[in-house]
């Protein structure tokens, strides 16, 4: 499943819908698995009445994790060598996200990718990069 340098082109993209209508329960699931129980993500009462947000919102790391599935589905398992992101906007329950990897450079047995995830309104919620090992 790994990518082949001989078949890759700079500018080529891979896009995947990584979540449709994000549920609060999935955010709870992520809190439990990751160990980040910040009530901002799971406690509507605290988040609206104390923190001043319109509702709970997803962990940035949940968006990075879901975007990671797009990446590993594209480059293959155990092939990532680097993956880094900035969280550029919040992700809310009900959001539908699409993640895109764009081939930025191919260098021998490595590919460099730009990574971007957008919500249903087209707002970028995550912006980053990845690097993966590829076959010849």
Partner 1 sequence: MVAKRFPIEAGHIMMFARSVGDDNPIYYDADYAQTTEAGSVIAPPTFPQSSAQFDPDYFLRPKIGQPWFGSGKTPTGVQRAAGGGGGGGGGGLHAEQHFEYHRHLKPGDVLTATVKPGKTWEKEGRRSGKLIFSESITEYRDQNGELVITARGVGVRTERPVDQPAQKSETAEA
Q: What is the smallest separation between the CB atom of 115 and partner 1, expressed in angstroms?
A: 11
Closest CA to 30 of 93, 111, 97, 110: 93
Residue 9 or residue 30: which is nearer to partner 1 going by CB?
30
- Interface with partner 1, residue 4, by CB under 8 A: no
Binding positions for partner 1, 19-38, rule CB under 8 A: 19, 26, 29-30, 32-38
Alpha carbon distance 62, 131 (integer Å)? 20
Site for partner 1 in 117-136 (CB under 8 A): 123-125, 127
Task: Please identify which residue in 12, 15, 24, 80 interacts with partner 1, judged by CB under 8 A.
Answer: 80
Q: How far is CA 30 from CA 33, 49, 89, in A?
A: 5, 23, 19
Burial letters 79-99, b for 16+ CB under 10 A, else e: bbeebebebbbbbbbebebbb
CB nearer to partner 1: give 42 or 111. 42
Q: How far is the CB of 30 from partner 1 (least distance, A)?
A: 4
In what helix (H) or strand (E) does residue 73 lie, and over which residues does it extend? helix 60-75
Pick one of 3, 85, 99, 111: the residue that binds partner 1 (CB under 8 A): 85
Which residue in the set 4, 13, 86, 109 belongs to the binding site for partner 1 (CB under 8 A)?
86
Bridge partners of residue 107, in order along the sequence: 110
């Amino acid at each position: 499943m790994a990518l082949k340098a001989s078949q890759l082109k700079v500018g080529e993209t891979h896009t995947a819908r990584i979540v449709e209508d994000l549920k609060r329960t999935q955010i709870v699931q992520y809190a439990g698995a990751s160990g980040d129980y910040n009530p901002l993500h799971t406690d509507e009462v605290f988040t609206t009445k104390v923190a001043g947000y319109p509702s709970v919102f997803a962990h940035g790391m949940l968006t990075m994790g879901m975007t990671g599935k797009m990446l590993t589905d594209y480059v293959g398992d155990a092939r990532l060598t680097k993956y880094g992101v900035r969280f550029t906007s919040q992700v809310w329950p009900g959001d539908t996200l699409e993640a895109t990897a764009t081939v930025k450079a191919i260098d021998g047995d490595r590919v460099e990718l730009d990574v971007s995830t957008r919500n249903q309104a087209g707002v970028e919620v995550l912006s980053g990069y990845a690097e993966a090992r590829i076959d010849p």
